[in-house]
Amino acid sequence: MFPNAMNLFLAGIVLPQIHPMEIHAIRKKIEEYRSEGKRLFTTSSFQTHSIPMLHILSEIDNSIPVYFINTGYLFPETVSFRDEVADRLKLKIVDLKPNTPKYMQRESNGKLLFTTDPDHCCYLNKTQPMESVLASHDVWINGVRGDQSAVRKAMKVEQPAPFDSIRFHPMLDWDNRKIFAYIKEHDLPKHALDAQGYISIGCEPCTRKMDLDMQEREARWFGLNKVECGLHTDLVK
């Protein structure tokens, strides 16, 4: 089996404890939003490390809609994992598709946009569909973590977002070790591609397997000087 991060962490390293107060603080914040009449939603890319937040939310309020940004370029294993997790945690999944059909996402030479202009491809397939979701809700519960990239490290737990909405980042201070400790403690399912050496899994054309000397986000848009798709740079204030 590929020595991915989870296997390394689980191979004898003492995993951190998750203090019940941390979960209690998330519950309290969600109850506070609810009491203010705010409309909540979350999103998930359905990777292994996405599952702790979904598990926590499912125990607090599994009526919160979980938007799944289905770009049309995802690995089939991700779509299967979404179904498995949704079934296990009894989640309310909403499939979010791009507004622009793929035949209109081509350069004049016929090439699909991800080959030449990944920023615009990410905008059409990820950011633009999210804009209407954000406009119709008040709070986006988002599982970004500070240890994933410099952009995310600079974020705040609660942060203003476009359309007068708020982003709530309950996992911001969690790190990989804590995520895997939670997965182990609750015996949560794992994405099928983990065992093949993938650690950050997005669209198939823009994801590669992890080398041991790579940072998590370097497994995406390899060689393109791009580590974010726009969801955490354009849809934030």
Catalytic sites, residue numbers: 229
Instruction: Tell me: is residue 121 an annotated ligand-binding position.
Output: yes
Which one, of 124, 160, 125, lies nearest residue 140 by Cα? Answer: 160
| CB closest to ligand SF4, residue no | 203
Spatial distance between the Cα atoms of 54 and 56, rounded to a whole number of angstroms: 5
Please give the DSSP secondary-structure letter assigned to residue 125: I
Q: How far is the CB of 228 from ligand SF4 (least distance, A)?
A: 10
Nearer to ligand SF4, 142 or 200 (CB): 200
Q: How far is the CB of 229 from ligand SF4 (least distance, A)?
A: 5
Q: How far is the CB of 112 from ligand SF4 (least distance, A)?
A: 8
Mapped onto helix, strand or coil, the DSSP state of residue 193 is coil
The dihedral sign for the CA sequence 59, 63, 65, 68: positive
Which one, of 186, 178, 224, 176, lies nearest residue 56 by Cα? Answer: 186
Nearer to ligand SF4, 68 or 114 (CB): 114
Start-to-end C-alpha separation, the chain: 42
Spatial distance between the Cα atoms of 33 and 137, rounded to a whole number of angstroms: 12
Instruction: Tell me: is residue 203 an annotated ligand-binding position.
Output: yes
Please give the DSSP secondary-structure letter assigned to residue 29: H
Spatial distance between the Cα atoms of 86 and 63, rounded to a whole number of angstroms: 12
Q: How far is the CB of 119 from ligand SF4 (least distance, A)?
A: 8
Residue ranges binding ligand SF4 (CB under 6 A): 71, 73, 114, 118, 121-122, 125-126, 202-203, 205-206, 229
Nearer to ligand SF4, 157 or 224 (CB): 224
Nearer to ligand SF4, 77 or 138 (CB): 77
Who contacts 27 (Cβ-Cβ below 8 Å, separation ≥6)? 60
Instruction: Tell me: is residue 101 an annotated ligand-binding position.
Output: no
Spatial distance between the Cα atoms of 38 and 33, rounded to a whole number of angstroms: 5
Binding-site residues, please? 121-122, 203, 206
Binding-site residues for [4Fe-4S] cluster, please? 121-122, 203, 206
